[in-house]
Amino acid sequence: MKRLSEELRIVPRIAWFIAALAYLALLSILVHASKNDPSIREWPLWGKLLFGGLMPLLLVCYVVLIGYVNADARRRGMRYVMWTLLAMFTPNALGIILYFVLRDPLMRPCPHCATLLKHGFAFCPHCGTALTQACPRCQKMVEAGWSHCVACGAKLA
């Protein structure tokens, strides 16, 4: 539960505000429609409450997820405008699902200068600190425990 609350904190306040407005607007539309529709008037009270409460709640979840996609893509160094538009305009929430499948790993700080770096950098572009081991001949990234470089075949120390 702690992880969920930490992740929900990154959703921008404007997204929460839009979600609240959308909830109130859809709720008022449904209440107005239920007063004018004779078939809905015959429903039991629990059915009316479920219909009037859950339908707008789905819209709130959708708006909050779009806000989350925007903020999360921004903190991961991705194209956040593109992902937000994709999440908004792709039908059936496929844009949101695609985002969660294709998103980049979180950026990590450089141990020397604290610049945020994308995953896979061998050296910090700001200060030049080595972030992983590199091949002495071709400077490609190598993993700990390798005896030879996969790019050039050089023997590693």
pLDDT in tens, 88-140: 999 999 999 999 999 999 888 988 898 888 887 878 889 988 888 888 888 88
Residue type at 81 in one-letter notation: V
Q: Are 77 and 107 in contact (CB under 8 A)?
A: yes
Task: Report which secondary-structure segment, H or E, holds 117.
Answer: strand 116-117
> What is the per-residue pLDDT for 69?
97
Q: In terms of C-beta density within 10 A (0-12 exposed, 13-18 middle, 19 or more buried), how is residue 83 classed?
A: buried
The C-alpha atoms of residue 137 and residue 93 are separated, in whole angstroms, by 47
Segment 73-93, tens digit of pLDDT:
999 999 999 999 999 999 999
The reported pTM is: 0.75
Give me the numbers of helices (H) and strands (E) for the chain, helices first please: 6, 4
Phi, psi of 123 (to 5 degrees): -135, 150
Spatial CB neighbours of 104, under 8 Å, sequence gap ≥ 6: 76, 77, 78, 118, 119
Confidence at 62, pLDDT banded by 50, 70, 90: very high
